[in-house]
């Protein structure tokens, strides 16, 4: 598009100039954004299109367990599921990643080995992000050192909501640096906004641009610990942001809605939205993910239904 | 990207399988279309006196759907007599509470048979099932529910302590929203205690005839609703009939003008809802993605066959290029084709005649030097189709900026200041609707005060609600339909 390329160095030179830039982004009309998301949800995805969408959705799942009660056993089971979601059907693709707490990275890494399923670790005092900067960075470095391929950080929502944008920006930059490995490569950084706490669509658009300018590889809606988690209209605004960001900078950023997406039908609606808002380039696990746990079994059940023509019960799919 | 093993590159994505939506047609089997239909007079389907008929086709395939009776002057006379009789003997004597029961019953049957009505509307009219299912039919039910609620409260509507019905209403409706326009006409007329003779458009009679079946199903007393099908001659007979007390018309300004001449000097009261050339005004501080949706919805909804369509985009010069780029990208995702496919956004043009008019005005636009653009778009082999089209570099002097095209064709005009936007928006013989897109609430109110248009939408477009009055200034007609105001046209004070 014809929007001007932001000079990131200039925009981020002070809190005032970053604020001017973010508040100069076009507003989002809530009623209109919600209506657009609802309209896209009426697309009817059947037969071959549904098969395509279900398999694609499986490859996009970040299979997640983020509980205080997580154990190595639980994480090993989840990792096994991630590699072979449907043991009865070898044609079923693996998911994109398992998403876990930092102390479980080693266990997951060991189980997943060279399977191609990635290990994503939350970090930065997930889910609240209420800790000192050094602790957040140490949390990140620890997860990377343990072998995490991807880091899911949370932003400081308090700083954002009180208008300290530069602080949020600098923290993302610092975490991105902490994602570096000794060999020069880096873990990929997903930045969680917790849109349920930011609440307005204007805020979601602003934080999207802020995070992308700070070098996020992915922007992610939620931790899953706050309601509402991912919503269609919130994700729509983020998809518009990554589309516009590529138009002006040439850089593609991924999007990950997380939390609350449990049914195949909902996942397919998200894929329709990706297709029609951001474009087909984003229909790839490299650029779009679902943060979910129960979604996977519903996808598998629908997949089996498409192949065999009848539904089987939940007992025919593994609970891990 | 530092780590290619983790994140793929955009280049590889071009070889990936695309997300092609498989056909998702709504089933036609939910609706039974008879091979021929009579006229609905005095509660029964009757053959026309002189036995004439015409065919109604599906504009998407040109397939003949049914043979429909053509009502002559004598048939119209029978219908008006039936309506008069029903008015005198039954409907005007019935309490408002009893009338409302019938209207509520009709509204519920419409909801119960909504799928059938939606499929039939899309077949006969060519509009996408997504719109007939999600917009037209739900609104039809909503209008009946709304006016059902007024039937026993007329003395509180603000039109005097004891408002009386006018008598027999002659109503002529267009083909763009066949069933919805029927609801706009019949629901307030019946609520106020009138009986009606309604003539649907000749290209879209089928849902009116299905509505006649619904009246039977609801046990509506015979003669309260009469449906006479036919073309212009039939419509003239309805309007000119000496025993019609009230004429209500929605359609073109030319026909509206001749109706006004016909009824001049008689005691008939008239409401006319005519053409439009609405301005959809986008300021530089507008929520741009939603404004683009509003532009698309304003002109491509129902193939632009909307009297209040936002057919002129007035966009502030400082953001014109960005808005146009976004609009074009959005237009490329519109899906044109089979109206019964649930994923279709743009259906068929209603008739060969209308298609010819859209083509000829678009050719004029090109000849006058405006820049024409449509997204790459395969048009089906059969039926009547026109791709979504925009014209850029349009000035007030172009014919495409002045005349109603009534098709999916948008004229893009730029402005510099709010005052210029108002001046250009009002510089038209029409005045039905307008849209204003800005983040500034005070500017919306400032604009709304100055726009000479019956409806001004703020940060939205083409939104209808039974509680809201609708109607025009200048050559867009007179009288209001909808809301409490809509009752006034059917009441004697």
Q: What is the pLDDT of residues A208-218, one digit of tens each?
A: 999 999 999 99
Query: Which ranges constitute the DSSP H helices of B393-436?
Result: 418-426
Nearest-Cα distance to chain A for B380, in Å, is: 21
For the cut 60, the answer to whether the pLDDT of residue B165 exceeds it is yes
B450's tokens: 């100055």
B204 within a domain of the structure (yes/no):
yes
In terms of domains, do B108 and B212 share one? yes
In terms of domains, do B153 and B289 share one? no
Nearest-Cα distance to chain A for B389, in Å, is: 20
In terms of domains, do B255 and B368 share one? no
Q: Which residues of B are catalytic?
A: 273
B443 within a domain of the structure (yes/no):
yes
Count of CB pairs separated by less than 8 Å, A with B: 105
Q: What is the ipTM of this complex?
A: 0.94
CA-to-CA separations, B376 to B266, B326, B333, B340, B385, in angstroms, rounded = 53, 16, 10, 22, 14
Nearest-Cα distance to chain B for A75, in Å, is: 21
In terms of domains, do B113 and B205 share one? yes
For the cut 50, the answer to whether the pLDDT of residue B409 exceeds it is yes
| List of chain A residues whose C-beta atoms are within 8 Å of the C-beta of residue B16 | 280, 283-284
In chain A, DSSP assigns E strands to 61-64, 97-100, 118-123, 150-154, 188-192, 218-220, 254-256, 290-292
Helix (H) or strand (E) holding B352: helix B352-367
For the cut 90, the answer to whether the pLDDT of residue B176 exceeds it is yes
Best residue in B19, B283, B317 for a mutation probing chain A (most A CBs within 10 Å): B19
**What are the residues whose beta carbons fall under 8 Å from the beta carbon of A265, sequence distance 6 or more?**
none
Mean predicted confidence (pLDDT) in B461-482: 94
Count of residues making up chain A: 320
In terms of domains, do B347 and B449 share one? yes
- CA pair distance A105, A119, nearest whole angstrom: 7
Nearest-Cα distance to chain A for B122, in Å, is: 17
Which residue in A2, A35, A49 is closest to B22 by CB distance?
A: A49
Label residue B18 by pLDDT band (50, 70, 90): confident
B289 close to A (CB below 8 A)? yes
In terms of domains, do B42 and B92 share one? yes
- CA pair distance B355, B406, nearest whole angstrom: 10
Distance of CA B336 to the CA centre of its chain: 19
CATH number of the structural domain spanning residue B46: 3.40.605.10
Q: Please answer yes or no on whether B24 and A32 come within 8 Å at the CB atom.
A: no
Q: Which residues of A touch B (CB under 8 A)?
A: 1-3, 26-29, 31-33, 35-36, 42-50, 52-53, 56, 118, 149-150, 184-186, 188, 217, 240, 252, 254, 271-272, 275-276, 280-281, 283-284, 286-287
Which residue in A1, A52, A188 is closest to B322 by CB distance?
A: A1
Count of residues making up chain B: 493
Which residue in B19, B286, B333 is closest to A49 by CB distance?
A: B19
B83 within a domain of the structure (yes/no):
yes
In terms of domains, do B345 and B323 share one? yes
Q: Exposed, middle or buried: residue A100 (CB in 10 Å: 0-12, 13-18, 19+)?
A: buried
Nearest-Cα distance to chain A for B459, in Å, is: 8
Mean pLDDT of chain A: 95
B16 close to A (CB below 8 A)? yes
Summarize pLDDT for A7-35 with one digit per residue, the tens.
Answer: 888 999 999 999 999 999 999 999 999 99
Residue B108 CB: number of other CB atoms within 10 A? 15
- CA pair distance A140, B216, nearest whole angstrom: 72
| List of chain B residues whose C-beta atoms are within 8 Å of the C-beta of residue A45 | 21-22, 24
B309 within a domain of the structure (yes/no):
yes
Nearest-Cα distance to chain A for B345, in Å, is: 10
Summarize pLDDT for B276-322 with one digit per residue, the tens.
Answer: 999 999 999 999 999 999 999 999 999 999 999 999 999 999 999 99
User: In order of start, what are the domains of chain A with their CATH numbers?
Assistant: 8-307 (3.20.20.70)
In terms of domains, do B312 and B231 share one? no
How many structural domains does chain B have?
Answer: 2
Which residue in B2, B294, B321 is closest to A185 by CB distance?
A: B2
pLDDT of residue A4: 59
pLDDT of residue A1: 46
For the cut 50, the answer to whether the pLDDT of residue B354 exceeds it is yes
In terms of domains, do B293 and B253 share one? no
Strand partners, A100: A121
Which residue in B1, B23, B287 is closest to A27 by CB distance?
A: B287
Label residue B8 by pLDDT band (50, 70, 90): very low
Mark which residues 207-266 of B lie under 8 Å from A by CB: none
Label residue B16 by pLDDT band (50, 70, 90): low
Which residue in A186, A280, A286 is closest to B2 by CB distance?
A: A186
| List of chain A residues whose C-beta atoms are within 8 Å of the C-beta of residue B460 | 31-32
pLDDT of residue A3: 53
Nearest-Cα distance to chain A for B89, in Å, is: 48
Q: Please answer yes or no on whether B289 and A240 come within 8 Å at the CB atom.
A: yes
In terms of domains, do B310 and B323 share one? yes
Q: Which residues of A are catalytic?
A: 152, 220, 256
DSSP letter, residue B90: I
- Nearest residue in B to A277, CA atom: B330
B90 within a domain of the structure (yes/no):
yes
B431 within a domain of the structure (yes/no):
yes
Q: What is the pLDDT tens value at each position of chain A, 320 positions in all?
A: 445 567 888 999 999 999 999 999 999 999 999 999 999 999 999 999 999 999 999 999 999 999 999 999 999 999 999 999 999 999 999 999 999 999 999 999 999 999 999 999 999 999 999 999 999 999 999 999 999 999 999 999 999 999 999 999 999 999 999 999 999 999 999 999 999 999 999 999 999 999 999 999 999 999 999 999 999 999 999 999 999 999 999 999 999 999 999 999 999 999 999 999 999 999 999 999 999 999 999 999 999 999 999 988 888 888 87
- CA pair distance B205, A255, nearest whole angstrom: 49
Query: Which ranges constitute the DSSP H helices of B407-463?
Result: 418-426, 441-450
Which residue in B130, B322, B460 is closest to A31 by CB distance?
A: B460
In terms of domains, do B258 and B371 share one? no
Full domain range(s) for residue B201:
28-274+476-492
In terms of domains, do B230 and B297 share one? no
- CA pair distance B325, B184, nearest whole angstrom: 38
Query: Do residues B208 and B200 touch, judged by C-beta distance below 8 A?
Result: yes
pLDDT of residue B17: 62
A135's tokens: 């602790």
B4 within a domain of the structure (yes/no):
no
Query: Do residues A116 and A94 touch, judged by C-beta distance below 8 A?
Result: yes
pLDDT of residue A313: 85
Q: Please answer yes or no on whether B16 and A2 come within 8 Å at the CB atom.
A: no
pLDDT of residue A316: 87
B47 close to A (CB below 8 A)? no
For the cut 80, the answer to whether the pLDDT of residue B90 exceeds it is yes
For the cut 90, the answer to whether the pLDDT of residue B486 exceeds it is yes
B293 close to A (CB below 8 A)? yes
- Nearest residue in A to B344, CA atom: A43
CATH number of the structural domain spanning residue B324: 3.40.309.10
B17 close to A (CB below 8 A)? yes
Mark which residues 440-459 of B lie under 8 Å from A by CB: 459
B23 within a domain of the structure (yes/no):
no
């Amino acid at each position: 598009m014809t929007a001007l390329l932001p000079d990131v160095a200039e925009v981020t030179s002070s809190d005032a100039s970053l604020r001017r830039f973010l508040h100069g982004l076009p507003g989002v009309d809530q009623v209109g954004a919600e209506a657009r998301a609802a309209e896209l949800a009426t697309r009817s995805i059947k037969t071959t299109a549904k098969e395509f969408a279900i398999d694609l959705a499986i490859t996009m799942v970040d299979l997640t367990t983020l509980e205080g009660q997580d154990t190595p056993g639980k994480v090993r089971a989840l990792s096994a599921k991630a590699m072979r979601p449907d043991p009865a059907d070898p044609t079923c693709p693996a998911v994109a990643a398992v998403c876990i707490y930092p102390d479980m990275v080693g266990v997951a890494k060991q189980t997943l080995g060279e399977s191609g399923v990635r290990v994503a670790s939350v970090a930065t005092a997930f889910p609240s992000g209420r800790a000192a900067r050094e602790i957040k960075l140490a949390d990140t470095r620890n997860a990377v050192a343990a072998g995490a391929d991807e880091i899911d950080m949370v932003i400081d929502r308090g700083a954002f909501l009180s208008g300290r944008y530069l602080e949020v920006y600098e923290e993302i930059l610092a975490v991105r640096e902490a994602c570096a490995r000794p060999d020069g490569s880096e873990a990929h950084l997903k930045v969680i906004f917790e849109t349920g706490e930011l609440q307005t669509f204007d805020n979601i658009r602003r934080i999207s641009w802020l995070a992308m300018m700070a070098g996020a590889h992915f922007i992610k809606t939620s931790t899953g610990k706050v309601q509402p988690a991912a919503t269609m209209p919130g994700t729509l605004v983020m998809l518009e942001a990554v589309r516009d960001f590529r138009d002006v900078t040439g850089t593609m950023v991924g999007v990950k809605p997380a939390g609350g997406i449990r049914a195949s039908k909902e996942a397919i609606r998200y894929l329709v939205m990706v297709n029609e808002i951001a474009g087909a380039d984003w229909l790839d696990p490299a650029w779009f993910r679902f943060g979910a746990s129960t979604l996977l079994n519903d996808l598998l059940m629908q997949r089996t239904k498409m192949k065999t023509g009848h539904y089987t019960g939940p007992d025919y799919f593994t609970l891990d | 990207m530092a780590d290619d093993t983790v994140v793929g590159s955009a280049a590889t994505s071009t070889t990936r399988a695309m997300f092609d939506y498989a056909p998702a047609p709504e089933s036609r089997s939910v609706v039974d279309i008879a091979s021929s239909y009579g006229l609905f007079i005095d509660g029964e389907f009757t053959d026309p006196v002189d036995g004439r008929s015409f065919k109604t086709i599906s504009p998407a395939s040109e397939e003949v759907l049914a043979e429909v009776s053509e009502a002559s002057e004598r048939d119209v006379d029978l219908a008006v007599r039936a309506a008069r009789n029903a008015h005198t003997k039954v409907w005007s004597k019935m309490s408002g509470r009893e009338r409302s029961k019938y209207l509520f019953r009709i509204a519920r049957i419409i909801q119960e048979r909504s799928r059938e009505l939606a499929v039939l509307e899309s077949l006969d009219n060519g509009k996408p099932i997504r719109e007939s299912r999600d917009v037209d039919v739900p609104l039809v039910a909503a209008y009946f529910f709304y006016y059902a609620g007024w039937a026993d409260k007329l003395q509180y509507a603000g039109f005097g302590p004891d408002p009386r019905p006018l008598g027999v209403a002659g109503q002529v409706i267009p083909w763009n929203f066949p069933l919805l326009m029927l609801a706009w006409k019949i629901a307030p007329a019946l609520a106020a205690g009138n009986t009606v003779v309604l003539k649907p458009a000749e290209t879209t009679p089928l849902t009116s005839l299905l509505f006649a079946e619904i009246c039977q199903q609801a046990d509506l007393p015979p003669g309260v609703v009469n449906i006479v099908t036919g073309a212009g001659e039939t419509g003239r007979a309805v309007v000119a009939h000496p025993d019609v007390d009230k004429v209500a018309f929605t359609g073109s300004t030319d026909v509206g003008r001749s109706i006004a001449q016909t009824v001049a000097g008689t005691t008939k009261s008239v409401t006319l809802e005519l053409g439009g050339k609405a301005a959809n005004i986008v300021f530089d501080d507008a929520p741009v993605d939603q404004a683009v949706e509003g532009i698309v919805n304003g002109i491509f909804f129902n193939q632009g066959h909307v009297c209040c369509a936002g057919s002129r985009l007035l966009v502030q010069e400082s953001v014109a290029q960005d808005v146009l780029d976004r609009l074009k990208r959005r237009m490329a995702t519109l899906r044109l084709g089979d109206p019964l496919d649930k994923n279709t956004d743009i259906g068929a043009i209603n008739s060969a005649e209308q298609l010819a008019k859209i083509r000829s005005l678009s050719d004029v636009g090109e000849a006058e030097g405006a820049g024409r653009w449509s997204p790459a778009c395969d048009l089906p082999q059969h039926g009547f189709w026109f791709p979504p089209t925009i014209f850029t570099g349009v000035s007030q002097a172009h014919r495409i900026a002045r005349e109603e095209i009534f098709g999916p064709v948008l004229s893009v005009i730029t402005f510099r200041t709010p005052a210029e936007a108002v001046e250009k928006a009002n510089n038209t013989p029409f005045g039905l609707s307008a849209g204003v897109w800005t983040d500034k609430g005070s500017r919306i109110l400032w604009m709304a005060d100055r726009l000479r248009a019956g409806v001004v939408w703020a940060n939205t477009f083409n939104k209808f609600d039974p509680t809201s009055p609708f109607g025009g200034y200048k050559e867009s007609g007179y009288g209001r339909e909808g809301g409490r105001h809509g009752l006034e046209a059917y009441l004697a004070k």
